[in-house]
Amino acid sequence: MGNNYSFRRYFISLCILTFVIALITDIIFITEEMLNIHLSSKFSNTRIEKIIDFRGKWLWLTYFIAPIGLFVKIIIPASLIYMGLYLSNFKVSFNDVLRACTIAEFIFLLPIISKILWFGFVSPDYTLDDFRGFYPLSLFAMFEPDLLDKWLHYPFKTINVFEIAYWFALAGSLSLVLSIAFQEMFRIVVLYYGSYLVCWMLFVVFISLSIN
């Protein structure tokens, strides 16, 4: 019961922080004026008004769907890590693994916060493309987006300092929650979550190449 409560507590905290950050982003940084400027070269004024009106009516729905996506994002590495622990003969509770993965997930709030701070204080004169294409401390940030083939965008965005930090945070939280050596947890993270991430990137690249 305690472990279940702990997971819920961390997950609810994560959802609340994600909601607050999303709200700040949508209200302060992705304004109707910015959307108007971004769409003005692509659509007529009537079409733009309909798009902005549609966004205004249905944006709230994304806030309700977000926790589901967040839970799926956590349950995948948790399941993979649990399988790795089971195959390595570690008898642990799935709820403990889920709790550790939820704790590590807080790492991924940092790039969003850094984006808000960057465009809020360092570079306030930005376009919507600038905001959407900002991936701090990533391989993508080292290149001009226009010079990169489209199929390289996703893997280059995914390979970043925060992703690496997540691996260490995941191994550390697992080690703390399960009372197992950090080195052993890091090995399992690399073997199981790392393999999944590489396969997922290859899948996205394959889809990108197929579409293009």
Ramachandran region of residue 137, left (φ > 0), alpha (ψ -120 to 50) or beta? left
Question: Do 110 and 131 contact (CB within 8 A), yes or no?
Answer: no
Question: Do 18 and 109 contact (CB within 8 A), yes or no?
Answer: yes
pLDDT value for 2 = 46
The arithmetic mean of pLDDT across residues 131-149, rounded, is: 92
**Position 119 pLDDT exceeds 90:** yes
The 10s digit of each residue's pLDDT in 22-77 is 999 999 999 888 999 999 988 888 999 999 999 989 999 999 999 999 999 999 99
**Position 4 pLDDT exceeds 80:** no
pLDDT value for 5 = 58
pLDDT tier at 178, thresholds 50, 70, 90: very high
pLDDT value for 3 = 53
% of the chain exceeding 90 in pLDDT? 85
Return the amino acid letter for 150. Answer: K
pLDDT value for 211 = 84
From 104, 98, 115, 92, select the one nearest 178 (Cα to Cα).
92
Question: Do 66 and 18 contact (CB within 8 A), yes or no?
Answer: yes
The arithmetic mean of pLDDT across residues 100-119, rounded, is: 96
The span from the CA of 154 to the CA of 212, in Å, is 14
The arithmetic mean of pLDDT across residues 153-169, rounded, is: 97
From 210, 206, 188, select the one nearest 101 (Cα to Cα).
188
pLDDT value for 56 = 87
pLDDT value for 198 = 97
Q: What rounded mean pLDDT belongs to the chain? A: 93
**Position 136 pLDDT exceeds 60:** yes
**Position 12 pLDDT exceeds 80:** yes
Write down the pTM of the prediction: 0.92
**Position 172 pLDDT exceeds 80:** yes
The residue count of the chain comes to 212
**Position 205 pLDDT exceeds 70:** yes
